[in-house]
Chain A
């Protein structure tokens, strides 16, 4: 038996029945009770929940171009630490991932790192400038076989460009993931517009700037019969629009971030830039609405919008600080706190919204499969009874801009398996040489 054979004893599959799993040569080869296997590394998973390896449809890896913030290696280490086995890399690198060459480079860096499947997302428009379409077909046909396209960070706000993009990607079953933000309604925006922004004197980012773009886009998607994905939906009104669109049969999916499930704009009051993010933290009503939307299926998935920034980008006055938070290491624990502890989701739902459905939206094979014999060995073992104060020791990327530092969070990722090999073993992140291809 090789050291890549594992016998996991007594894990609760997606939080349900206990079972043993045998992992061999990158696959789950057996699932049952009372399994034995001579020579296998035995893992006592009593009390642990086995989930299919998490899939993040929205990660910023910063490489190439912004390696001071994150690299593909450091970002995928953060992913593994959080229980992820696949991450979709947003294209706002330098150069922008708007050609086959850049997405293939991203893919290769992910393969070399070996901590997770790194699936590049292609830019919708050249340089993410919103003016003309990037070579979407070339990226789709490249070795990176791109299916998700996004100008994330910027909204594809020109309605004609958005329409063309939605139509064009149909030929290779692609999807446009829209950062819904009307730029004309958010000049200089610093936080959610409302009672708190009025008091703090920070320029407002009104909910309508998101909702009006989502409303337009679902109508465009209906008109041309295309697939639309809404990134980081953050307002109660957006939930209503997506709910309406789904009832109409429009092919739309939506994501919510962990931070929009847990944190509110009240945190902005201290002007601590760790809480500066785009779209901004919203009102409590919005948090409750996006939780409800995720619970009832209006919102399909949780995606991190993991956005690393170096310390100096956050050590400043609010207006000068960068938008964004790291989220890969904390996502499952935050979903546990916001959705499972509140009774809104069970662990099968968590597997759906954090693994199965994101893999399906992104058309990513080999991930998000049910934990059964023959499935790829992409899984995570999570201890729901653990927990503690989230600290810098929980962060494994290059940047420390987490909004959860000092906050009590439940749970702990104990093991993560990617391609049959542990990237996290008994709570310890594997060394790079142990996982690199």
Chain B
């Protein structure tokens, strides 16, 4: 795997391979000594142009458990306001000998620009770009769904026939996009739920059912209900009237939680707004996979770094 920029270009086989390697990695994390020597001598740079402590420490833990050296480069704020361009930053990292760059950037497409510009030779992992994609989040979500469904029998399996509803701010969500592409590639059926203002204007090309009514989506009995974080600044741009109305219409409250099928799971990429998109009852219920998602995130990111740095490097998106 040369880079991991998105999930839209992953094939089902490629995705299953990543998930299966993540299973192997998860197995090693149950040992007393979690650290593997696999990436000794390799340097992974976490290049974060946006604050995201959770994602950064997850990648950091993944790299360290594979014995890679980790450099955290926090370029908070935009490259423009900082006065240093993405190009200069990238070339600085290249000069320091980075083998992989994990990039979080506020601009959609920035990881692709980094990977295709010729500024660096390191592999690029997209850790979330603007409102475009967040591929490792989708991979850890798929891993979590598969694990809950198939347990120790997960290896080699797709998500054929599994029904997932993603609820909230679809328009601005890289998590929703990456999950849509990955889950449908793996055979799942995806329903997107949210106010019409927070659904992109033209989703005719998306392999998803669009529903504005959360109760309708819940009545359909999804296997997984994924609640997205709602940003309060969206209110100022008139996407919805206020938090109360949002929570009433699209929040997962106790009553909606109770009407879900018994084996449905509740997911959230974190950090949660308790009382807004998700109630405390839902967040703390046994159905909630929030903490499993965090743990699985380390395994999935170990798998991605492993395939990027230890596997043979083929064409983009290709795993040999």
Q: Which residues of A contact B (CB under 8 A)?
A: 187, 190, 193-195, 197-204, 206, 270-271, 312, 315-320
Contact = CB atoms under 8 A, between A and B. Distances in A.
A201 B177 CA distance: 8
B202 A319 contact: no
Given A201-B109, A202-B109, 18 more contacts: A195-B205, A198-B202, A199-B8, A199-B177, A199-B205, A201-B177, A203-B131, A271-B110, A315-B85, A315-B117, A316-B113, A317-B86, A317-B109, A318-B110, A319-B106, A320-B78, A320-B80, A320-B85
10 contacts: A187-B237, A201-B108, A202-B130, A316-B86, A316-B87, A317-B105, A318-B107, A318-B113, A320-B78, A320-B85
Interface in B87-123: 87, 105-110, 112-113, 116-117
B202 A317 contact: no
B205 A193 contact: no
B238 to A, nearest CB: 11
Contacts of B108: 190, 200-202, 271, 318-319
Interface string B62-87: 00000000000000001110000111
B85 A271 contact: no
Contacts of A317: 79, 86, 105, 107, 109-110, 113
A359 B137 CA distance: 57
Nearest to B173: A201
A197 B110 contact: no
Given A201-B130, A201-B174, A320 B206 contact: no
A187 B234 CA distance: 13
Nearest to B119: A315
Nearest to A203: B131
A271 B112 contact: yes
Contacts of A319: 106-110, 130
A271 B109 contact: yes
A197 B200 contact: yes
Interface string B178-190: 0000000000000
Interface in B264-299: none
B177 A270 contact: no
Measured as residues with beta carbon below 8 angstroms from the partner, the interface class of chain B is 20 to 34
A153 to B, nearest CB: 19
Given A316-B113, A317-B109, A198 B79 contact: no
Contact of A201 (B116, B132, B205): B132
B132 A200 contact: yes
Contact of B116 (A194, A199, A270): A270
B201 interface: yes
The 10 closest A-B pairs by CB, nearest first: A271-B109, A201-B132, A198-B200, A201-B131, A319-B107, A317-B110, A317-B107, A201-B108, A195-B205, A195-B202
A54 B70 CA distance: 59
A194 B78 CA distance: 26
Contacts of B174: 201
What DSSP secondary structure best describes chain B's contact surface? Answer: loop
B203 interface: yes
Contact of A320 (B107, B112, B116, B177): B107
A194 B202 contact: yes
B93 to A, nearest CB: 15
Given A200-B108, A270-B116, A271-B108, A316 B205 contact: no
B113 A201 contact: no
A198 B202 CA distance: 7
Interface of B: 8, 78-80, 85-87, 105-110, 112-113, 116-117, 129-133, 174, 177, 200-206, 237
Contacts of A200: 108-109, 132
A264 to B, nearest CB: 15
Contacts of B131: 201-203
Given A200-B132, A315-B87, A320 B79 contact: yes
A303 B8 CA distance: 38
A234 B308 CA distance: 43
A400 to B, nearest CB: 15
Contacts of A315: 85, 87, 117
A324 B202 CA distance: 25
B79 A316 contact: yes
B89 to A, nearest CB: 11
A195 B204 contact: yes
Nearest to B177: A201
Contacts of A197: 200, 202
Contacts of B87: 312, 315-316
A418 to B, nearest CB: 39
A30 B171 CA distance: 65
Contacts of B133: 201
A201 B170 CA distance: 10
Most buried by A among B78, B106, B116, B200: B200
B194 to A, nearest CB: 13
Nearest to B176: A201
Nearest to A190: B108
B110 to A, nearest CB: 4
Nearest to A273: B113
Contacts of B116: 270
Contacts of B110: 271, 317-319
A52 to B, nearest CB: 43
A270 B316 CA distance: 14
A190 B109 CA distance: 12
A206 B202 CA distance: 11
A276 to B, nearest CB: 11
A170 B72 CA distance: 62
Nearest to B49: A317
A198 B201 CA distance: 7
Contacts of B202: 193-195, 197-198
